[in-house]
Amino acid sequence: MRFILSFAWRDTRSSRRRLALYSLSIVLGIAALVSIGSFSANVRQAIDTEAKGLLGADLFVTSPAPLTAPVLEYLHGLGGTMAREQTFSSMLTFPATRRLRLVQVHAVEGDFPFYGTFETEPAGGLSLLRGPGGPRVILEPTLMDQFGVKVGDPVKLGRTTFTVAGAVRKVPGESPGVAMMAPRAYIPLAALPATGLASGQALARYRAMLQLPPARPAGAVVRAMKDRFALVRLSFDTVEERKRNLGQALSRLDGFLSLVGFVALVLGGIGVASALHAYVRQKVATVAILRCLGASARQGFLVYLVQGTALGVAGALIGGVLGVSVQRLLPLVFRGVLPVDISFFLSWPALLRGMGAGVVIGVLFSVLPLLAVRRVPPLAALRSAAGEDAGGGPDPWRLAIGGAIAAAVAAFAVWQTGAVGVGLGFAGMLGVGFLVLGGLGGLVSWAARRFVPRRLPYVVRQGFANLHRPNNRTVLLLVSLGLGTFLVLTLFLVRTTLLREIAGADSLGRPNLLFFDIQDDQIAGVEAAAAGAGSPVTESAPIVTMKIGALRGRTVEAILHDKDNRAEDWALRREYRSTFRGALSPTEKLVQGKFTGAAPPGGGPVPISLEDGLAHDLQLHVGDEVEWNVQGLAVRTVVGSLREVEWRRLEPNFFVVFPTGVLEAAPKTYLAALHAATPAASAAAQQAVVEEFPNVTAIDLALVVQTLDGIFSKVAFAIEFMALFTVATGLVVLAGAILTGRHQRIRETVLLRTLGASRRQLAQIQLVEYAVLGIQGAVVGALLALVGNELLARYVFHVAAAAPAGQVGAAIAVVALLAVATGFAAGRGVVDHPPLEVLRQEA
């Protein structure tokens, strides 16, 4: 063993830098796993530490309608402390500039939060609302920056002018993601009636926040309330549930990002295997000499196994250190997404897990090429040809190691995803992905041999020839560069596809501004105001709120208590905002039955049209009877047709459409949509309408796109950050592959130099070679990304895929440039050697 260890060490003398580079192939994958694992542990601990601060209370009871007297009575009877909040969307006006912005209004009452801190600038939390003078508001800081508002400035909400008291920083119980959807504005609940916005808001939420006495555990209260108020649409949030939900979300995110990191690790493993394959080929003579001098096959193999293991361990150590450094960056990457403040600490289990995975993958992938060492015959010392096919022929060990690699990859995926099917599916997809890329690599190599014209300049032909000549790395580089390009570009393209789909309305003249909460008597005024501002309303729809009373003759209460019920609870209990009209809208397609535009005369059930997804959730079919409770009045209907609705379009869309002639007399509000040609026209229309009708709320498509873009940016950045590990691994593998071919490269370069090639010509050959490699890797990755984007767009998002040529071209150019830069950096010095010096070294 002493000989094996000492020889293994000595044998690396001339190749330590190279071996270190090979180990770098797995470093980034390990770093990704360690950083994500350890960071998740930080977040988990923060969630545990700040558990009660996550909610700010022991229990939230929330309803889409004002909390009823019995509910409030019950809550008071619990003996704790209660705070209340009413939340809804409304337009905030900045009088100084006469500009408007849709905000999420939080009208609060009581000493919330009971745990944790409501952080504001200046400090003081909700007590800032209780200062002297007129009513006060606390605003989202981004809103204040955007509209140039300072503390003390006036803003207008409904009919009331508020004074800005401060900026909100962090609110217990609210995910930072909430602020991404719409900026928040906190006002005192007592100031709400004066605004004129106290009721009639379509998307209002009413909440009681409770601090419970110790004798009343939140879980027991929730169970009791669910029993007692089964028919009231209440939802509950407890600290435990919030922790569990956050934990689950974190596990999913952690699992997903770890899998992305693991792809980098497996790619690195393939890089290690490929580099060691070339390394072993260069060591055939040394092994043959050892065999001549009496070393057994086992001794020879062990020497290189020690090196391979050391490489894996070194990679794991460097990866561990790098991972811990990256972990410090992650709070910046996930800034604005996390609900808790993270304090950095090193999670040893996460570190050991990441490093362990690295060592296992590193060693398994090392062993594969090293098996060839066992088969180097001593005769190779006499005849080098004898060592040529050392790795060839069937070898049961190779199959066994291949199986072990597949098992390790599958086991890791199952472990990370926590689901055998998903894990195995991921491992399978990864295998298929590698095979597809490998197959394409083989195809490109074959095409380069077959189709490159002979009349091309020598340097170009030489560059292409490198794709198919013996010991080429075409397949490996396609896999590594292609996979990295594929991952990152797919993310970019999907984002573009979704944003384009939403933003596309502008170019098609579709509605891009939506007004809601319009009262029955305001619709004509709103239409006039919008038309006066230059953007007439193109579509408006009445909205009547209603609930389901009975399905096929059974009451909702009975269905909810039925254990065999397969209808979804949310669909049974929700408050429906239905409309009535005489025809299908452009966003709808009839999929079953017959749409009835006008209620037939006579007293029979009214034929209505349901959205097909809702019908599925309610287990309803054409011909089934539904009884609606329309604000206290029972209306018998029958499902006459099912519609497919294109929800993505910013147009009035509904789950339930009644024919005309039934609901006209019911209390109703209106929704109006219009197309504003320019941002200025949109602002003018909003101003005109909201100034006259402060209770009306506007949604601007540009704002939706901007908001979604913000959310995509945050989420995509985190994923792209991890995917970049794969790209970087691809480049390290590329550098390793170039270095392994350095021997061969030096020999050729020296021969060309001896035959009179200039430095410039040699550099041109290198440029062509690396550019061709880079471009083909990037093109293959981009092609896969286009396919991935098309599949996701078609089957997951049901939209038309957008693939801007500029974006794809830029990605290809960047990857090709990176490949050329890495190639030149790794091949540095090859051209500079005087022929004689190199010939002597090579002797």
Partner 1 sequence: MSLPPMLRVSRLTKTYPTAAGPLTVLHEASFELAAGASLAIIGPSGSGKTTLLGLCAGLDRATAGSVEIAGETLDGKDEDERARIRNASVGFVFQNFQLIPTLTALENVLVPLELRGAAGCEPQARALLERVGLAARADHYPVQLSGGEQQRVALARAFVNSPKILFCDEPTGNLDGETSGAMVELIFGLNRERGTTLVLVTHNPELAARCQRVLRLRSGSIVSDEANVLVG
> Where does this chain bind partner 1 (CB under 8 A)?
2-3, 6-7, 10-15, 285-286, 288-299, 377-379, 381-383, 386, 840-841, 843
Measured from the CB of residue 296, what is the shortest distance to partner 1 in angstroms?
Answer: 4
With b for 16 or more beta-carbon neighbours within 10 A and e for fewer, the 432-454 pattern comes to ebbebbbebbeebbeebeeebee
Measured from the CB of residue 291, what is the shortest distance to partner 1 in angstroms?
Answer: 6
For residue 691, give the amino acid letter: E
Which CB atom, from 185 or from 287, has the smaller least distance to partner 1?
287
Measured from the CB of residue 753, what is the shortest distance to partner 1 in angstroms?
Answer: 20
Which CB atom, from 7 or from 162, has the smaller least distance to partner 1?
7
Taking the CA of residue 717 as centre, how many other CA atoms within 13 Å lie in the half-sphere pointing to its CB? 14
Which CB atom, from 2 or from 150, has the smaller least distance to partner 1?
2
Measured from the CB of residue 265, what is the shortest distance to partner 1 in angstroms?
Answer: 29
Measured from the CB of residue 840, what is the shortest distance to partner 1 in angstroms?
Answer: 8
Which of 148, 150, 163 lies closest to 121 in space, CA to CA? 150
Question: Within a 10 A sphere around the Cβ of 564, how many other Cβ atoms?
Answer: 5
With b for 16 or more beta-carbon neighbours within 10 A and e for fewer, the 203-232 pattern comes to ebbbbbbbbbeeebebeebbeebeeebeeb
Which CB atom, from 26 or from 276, has the smaller least distance to partner 1?
276
Which CB atom, from 386 or from 531, has the smaller least distance to partner 1?
386
Phi, psi of 566 (to 5 degrees): -110, -5
Which CB atom, from 192 or from 295, has the smaller least distance to partner 1?
295
Angle of helix 458-465 relative to helix 759-791, nearest 10 degrees? 50
Measured from the CB of residue 272, what is the shortest distance to partner 1 in angstroms?
Answer: 20
Which of 115, 110, 140, 141 lies closest to 126 in space, CA to CA? 110
Measured from the CB of residue 359, what is the shortest distance to partner 1 in angstroms?
Answer: 25
**What dihedral do alpha carbons 692, 698, 702, 708 form, nearest 10°?**
150
Question: Within a 10 A sphere around the Cβ of 332, how many other Cβ atoms?
Answer: 9
**CA–CA separation, 129 vs 83, rounded Å?**
15
Cβ atoms of 298 and 375 closer than 8 Å: no
Which CB atom, from 10 or from 454, has the smaller least distance to partner 1?
10
Which CB atom, from 13 or from 454, has the smaller least distance to partner 1?
13
**CA–CA separation, 420 vs 422, rounded Å?**
6
**CA–CA separation, 584 vs 591, rounded Å?**
12
Measured from the CB of residue 762, what is the shortest distance to partner 1 in angstroms?
Answer: 24
Question: Within a 10 A sphere around the Cβ of 277, how many other Cβ atoms?
Answer: 18
Which CB atom, from 293 or from 805, has the smaller least distance to partner 1?
293
Measured from the CB of residue 23, what is the shortest distance to partner 1 in angstroms?
Answer: 18
Measured from the CB of residue 298, what is the shortest distance to partner 1 in angstroms?
Answer: 7
Cβ atoms of 40 and 239 closer than 8 Å: no
Secondary structure (DSSP) of 592-609: EE---SBPPSSSSPEEEE
Which CB atom, from 396 or from 603, has the smaller least distance to partner 1?
396
Measured from the CB of residue 279, what is the shortest distance to partner 1 in angstroms?
Answer: 12
With b for 16 or more beta-carbon neighbours within 10 A and e for fewer, the 814-834 pattern comes to bbbebbbebbbebbeebbeee
Tokens 């929700």 belong to which residue? Answer: 574
Which CB atom, from 381 or from 705, has the smaller least distance to partner 1?
381
**What dihedral do alpha carbons 32, 34, 35, 39 form, nearest 10°?**
140
- Give Cα separations from 306 to 7, 8, 13, 275 (angstroms): 10, 7, 14, 16
Which CB atom, from 10 or from 455, has the smaller least distance to partner 1?
10
Question: In this structure, what token pair is assigned to residue 273?
Answer: 């295997």
Measured from the CB of residue 294, what is the shortest distance to partner 1 in angstroms?
Answer: 2
